Amino acid sequence: MKNLLLVEDDEIQTMSIRELIGNGDVKTTVVASGREALAAIESTKYDCMVLDLGLPDMPGTELLEKIKNSPASRAMPIINLYR
Domain ranges of the chain: 2-81
**Phi, psi of 48, deg, nearest 5:** -165, 160
Measured CA to CA in angstroms, residue 36 lies from 22, 32, 49, 58 at distances of 23, 7, 13, 11
57 pLDDT more than 90 = yes
Q: Is the pLDDT of residue 10 over 70?
A: yes
Q: Is the pLDDT of residue 63 over 80?
A: yes
Q: Please check whether residue 8 is in contact with residue 17, taking contact to mean a CB–CB distance below 8 angstroms.
A: yes
Fold of 2-81: Rossmann fold (3.40.50)
Residues 10, 76: Cα–Cα separation, whole Å: 23
pLDDT at 83 over 70: no
Confidence of residue 74 (pLDDT cuts 50, 70, 90): confident
pTM, to two decimals: 0.91
